[in-house]
Chains A and B, each alone.
Chain A
Amino acid sequence: DAGVIQSPRHEVTEMGQEVTLRCKPISGHNSLFWYRQTMMRGLELLIYFNNNVPIDDSGMPEDRFSAKMPNASFSTLKIQPSEPRDSAVYFCASSFDSYNEQFFGPGTRLTVL
């Protein structure tokens, strides 16, 4: 298996633009997680899905952030409009079940100018 796949790996955009991050989980995994990593706050869970259903989105910072999982092999995290404080590395992870071992993708480094 190729592991968790994320795209793009790097994204540079201007404030106010829409940003869409993409994730393909490991085949057979039924839980998918979106995290954000910054120097100040470390790794924070934004939202997670189980069987394509959002279970907990309490970590989503504000309404500008939204996430979808239309099927078991694809998820998106969208920021609209983006702001400089959204600059961070965004990771996607998947697991066989929500409390089993999680496998992380390589991350998307987002820079909002």
Chain B
Amino acid sequence: KQEVTQIPAALSVPEGENLVLNCSFTDSAIYNLQWFRQDPGKGLTSLLLIQSSQREQTSGRLNASLDKSSGRSTLYIAASQPGDSATYLCAVSDVQGGSEKLVFGKGTKLTVNP
């Protein structure tokens, strides 16, 4: 059974700092990996999707990498801003018994202090 782990569970940094969020998964047979952002009381916003054949994806100040063989992904946020404060969730598109589904980690709660 696929399990997704995110470390740390919470992170507090000063504004302007570069930071890395970590995600690991137990089964490397995935279609893709997605990073989401969730603001308090809101739904999830998709940030980046990395196909299993890709190594990384970039969007603005965000860069996500994928090492499928080791079951790891990182989300790099450059020059963090208070508006980046949110919970970041990692999810892998897992294939089991012919059914594709997203399996989520429990997230990293990021606080960027002004």
A residues within 8 Å of B by Cβ? 4, 33, 42-45, 48, 55-56, 58, 91, 93, 98-107
The answer to the question of B72 belonging to the interface, with a C-beta cut-off of 8 Å to chain A, is no
**What is the CA–CA distance of A44 and B103 in the complex, to the nearest angstrom?**
7
A-B contact count (CB 8 A): 46
Interface members, chain B 31-56 (any A CB < 8 Å): 31-32, 34, 36, 42-46, 49
**What is the CA–CA distance of A101 and B34 in the complex, to the nearest angstrom?**
8
Query: Which of B14-22, B63-71, B75-83, B94-102 contacts the other chain?
Result: B94-102
- Across the interface, name the chain B residue whose C-beta is closest to A50: B100
Which residues of chain B are near A105, meaning CB under 8 Å?
A: 43
| A102-B46 in contact (CB<8A) | yes
- Across the interface, name the chain B residue whose C-beta is closest to A42: B106
> Closest Cβ of chain B: how far from A29's Cβ, in Å?
13
Q: Would you give the 0/1 interface string for B78-93, flagging 1 where the beta carbon is closer than 8 Å to chain A?
A: 0000000000010101
B residues within 8 Å of A by Cβ? 31-32, 34, 36, 42-46, 49, 89, 91, 93, 99-107
| A101-B89 in contact (CB<8A) | no
Which residues of chain B are near A45, meaning CB under 8 Å?
A: 101-103
Interface of A is mostly: strand
User: A99 with B43: in contact, given A42-B106, A48-B101, A56-B101 (CB under 8 Å)?
Assistant: no
Given contacts A4-B43, A56-B101, 11 further A-B contacts (CB under 8 A): A42-B104, A45-B102, A93-B44, A98-B101, A99-B93, A100-B49, A103-B46, A104-B43, A106-B42, A106-B43, A107-B43
> Closest Cβ of chain B: how far from A88's Cβ, in Å?
14
> Among the listed A43, A55, A101, A102, which residue makes an inter-chain contact with B99, where contact means beta carbons less than 8 Å apart?
A55
Q: List 10 A-B contacts (CB under 8 A).
A: A42-B105, A42-B107, A45-B103, A48-B101, A99-B31, A101-B34, A101-B49, A102-B34, A104-B43, A104-B44
Which residues of chain B are near A55, meaning CB under 8 Å?
A: 99
**What is the CA–CA distance of A30 and B101 in the complex, to the nearest angstrom?**
14
**What is the CA–CA distance of A6 and B103 in the complex, to the nearest angstrom?**
22
User: A56 with B99: in contact, given A43-B89, A102-B34 (CB under 8 Å)?
Assistant: yes
